[in-house]
Amino acid sequence: MDENVVVITGASSGIGAALAELVASRGAAVALVARRRDALHEVARRCGARAMAIAADVTRRDEVHRAAAETLARFGRIDVWVNNAGRGITRPPTELTDDDIDDMLRINVKSAWYGLQEVLPHFKARGTGHVINVSSILGRIPFAMYRSAYSASKHYLNALSAMAREEIQQTHPDIHISLVSPAVVRTDFGLNARYGGPDSRTLDWSQSPEEVAAVIATVSASRQPDVYTREGLQTRVAGYYAALGTDVAP
């Protein structure tokens, strides 16, 4: 991360704030993007002189454009763009409304896609760059029924990310798209979910936001395409699909 310019969305708390402080401590310049202006400025203060706070709603394409423009005006380039903004939902699938599904796609998919499409021309002009999309283990295994639409949105994000990676690297092999998939993280995610929900801090098998941030920082250096944030998650995903049965009907 030394000397990199890193844009982080959803940076006012949780994983985004932890990542901002970590990479800033390692020498990166950081542009922190979120809606909550006061909280965002407090994170920027903790990150030091090479941090800037950009209050913006990343579910709006024009706001993402403004965030990129302000970052370039301040630092002259962008090296890494981390799409971390997201929101959960607490509602079983048969009760989902049009608004529920639209909200999950807008926050968890469109926000990331606006970021990728905004920064990609800059990366192509430079011939290098890295987009990191923060997904979820629920984007691999739909095991939390009450998170149905959230899980679906992360599956959607994963598929788009993989296909965009294939497309872009055909012509620009030094532009990378990575997916990082945490499980439960001890943040306000559960409390802030649409319709509320269990506090993520009370759930089993959780990680701290600092642990997840450390994995994201490592991915920024390694540029690995698809990473889980703790040991055992990949095995759990493989086990889930193996348990569904044979892949060919008898």
Give yes or no for residue 249 having a pLDDT over 70. Answer: no
pTM, entire model: 0.95
Yes or no: say if 58 and 37 are a contact pair by the CB < 8 Å rule.
no
Whether the per-residue pLDDT at 17 is higher than 60: the answer is yes
Q: Residue 248: its pLDDT value, please?
A: 57
214's tokens: 């450390």
Q: Exactly one of 114, 146, 150, 228 is catalytic; which is it?
A: 150
pLDDT tens for 103-146 read 999 999 999 999 999 999 999 999 999 999 999 999 999 989 99
pLDDT confidence of residue 79: 98
> In Å, what is the CA distance from 118 to each residue of 45, 124, 131, 168, 214?
26, 11, 11, 14, 26
pLDDT (0 to 100) of residue 2: 66
150 is catalytic: yes
Place of tokens 């990378």: 176
Say which residue, 101 or 204, is predicted with more confidence: 101
Distance CA 128, CA 173 (A): 8
Q: Report the pLDDT value the prediction gives residue 250, as an integer from 0 to 100.
A: 54
Q: Note whether 124 and 139 are within 8 A (CB).
A: no
Report which of 225, 221, 188 is spatially closest to residue 203, judged by C-alpha positions.
188
For 44, half-sphere exposure in the C-beta direction (CA atoms, 13 angstrom radius) is 24
- Of 42, 33, 115, the C-alpha closest to 74 is 33
Which residue ranges form the domains of the chain, and what is each CATH number?
5-243 (3.40.50.720)
